[in-house]
């Protein structure tokens, strides 16, 4: 059994990790760290796990972990690694943004964990930087074009996310009174996930065109719905063949012949794509659950690859469609 620890155990991503890992056939969760909740039951924060686990939050590692998931605030993973001694051979999966575009830190190299693109580099590695949620959704919509050097013009993205994408800490724009029956734009053209998107598209395509990204807050809890378009002369039949071939070996990315809707992925580790051609533009709809494929689910996918397990282990979930 793989002994797994989680640092930053009270947030949404940690809760999703626990939901997945306590049912994973090859994993034992040993420690769930929280400096503010040590000694309290896990279920005091993650009520959906009542009856599923009797784990207690702790403020220190037991010292026998095989892997640790860092579910900390952005910028805090480096601080954690500086102040905690990990067991020899313990592998690291960081769900923050500390190492996505700056992968080398004090003798450690973090592989960028976009599993459907960089699987070969992730296999057996020691450290992974888990991609951001918006970044995952947008990259999966664009990397097939970049890989074949067909991404030559500006990319336009409008994407809407659920309230869990903002984390558990309450703020004005996550409060029910603000979010309910409301949609708003935030960080247009400046979102922090743009850097990793440009990095991946540049690696695959040799260069990266301008990515014009307008993120939006939605009045729902989970999921990301992205509308992506760029100039491309290929017709719809050719685009669909290209995308289906590119993801033919991906167990969680599927190209739908019919338009997709967000409910089809909520609660799953899937990304669904729908590809069309209109007047010289390729238009791709991309949908994921921001907490699974966009965070904790992809983190477990990375863990499976790092330890040589079946990539889908513990991740076969049906959507909460009804």
Catalytic residues: 133
β-sheet bridge partners, residue 157: 213, 228
Q: Could you tell me which residues come within 8 angstroms of residue 153 by beta carbon, excluding any fewer than 6 positions away?
A: 209, 230, 231, 232
Angle at 209 (CA atoms; ends 144, 249), nearest 5 degrees: 10
What is the distance between the alpha carbons of residues 31 and 67, in angstroms, rounded to a whole number? 11
Closest alpha carbon to 56 in 38, 76, 41: 41
Q: Which residues in 273-308 are b (16+ Cβ under 10 Å) and which e?
A: bbbebeeeebbbbbbbbbbbbbbbbbbbbbbbbbbe
Listed in order, strand segments (DSSP E) in 221-315 are 224-231, 253-255, 271-278, 281-288
Residues with Cβ within 8 Å of 85's Cβ and at least 6 positions away in sequence, in order, are: none
């Amino acid at each position: 059994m793989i002994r797994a620890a989680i640092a930053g155990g009270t947030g949404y991503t940690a809760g999703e990790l626990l939901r997945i890992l306590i049912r994973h056939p090859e994993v034992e969760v040993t420690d769930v760290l929280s400096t503010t909740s040590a000694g309290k039951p896990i279920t005091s924060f993650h009520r959906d796990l009542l009856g599923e686990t009797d784990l207690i939050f702790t403020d220190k590692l037991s010292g026998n972990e095989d892997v640790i998931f860092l579910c900390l605030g952005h910028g805090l993973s480096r601080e954690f690694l500086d102040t905690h001694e990990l067991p020899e051979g313990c592998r690291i999966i960081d769900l923050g943004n500390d190492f996505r575009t700056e992968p080398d830190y004090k003798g450690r190299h973090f592989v960028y964990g976009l599993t459907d693109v960089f699987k070969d580099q992730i296999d057996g590695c020691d450290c992974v930087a888990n991609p951001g949620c918006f970044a995952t959704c947008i990259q999966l919509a664009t990397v097939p074009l970049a890989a074949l050097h067909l991404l030559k013009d500006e990319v336009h993205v409008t994407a809407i996310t659920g309230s869990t994408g903002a984390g558990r800490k309450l703020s004005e724009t996550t409060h029910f009174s603000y979010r309910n029956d409301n949609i708003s734009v935030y960080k247009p053209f400046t979102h922090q996930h743009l850097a990793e998107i440009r990095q991946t598209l540049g690696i695959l395509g040799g260069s990266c065109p301008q990515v014009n990204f307008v993120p939006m807050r939605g009045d729902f809890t989970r999921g990301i719905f992205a509308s992506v378009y760029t100039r491309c002369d290929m017709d719809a039949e050719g685009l669909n063949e290209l995308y289906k071939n590119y993801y033919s070996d991906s167990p969680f990315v599927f190209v739908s012949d019919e338009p997709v809707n967000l409910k089809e992925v909520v609660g799953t580790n899937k990304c669904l794509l729908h590809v069309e051609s209109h007047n010289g533009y390729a238009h791709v709809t991309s949908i994921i659950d921001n907490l699974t494929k966009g965070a904790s689910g992809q983190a477990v996918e990375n863990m499976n690859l790092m330890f040589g397990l079946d990539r889908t282990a513990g991740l076969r979930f049906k959507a909460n469609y009804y």
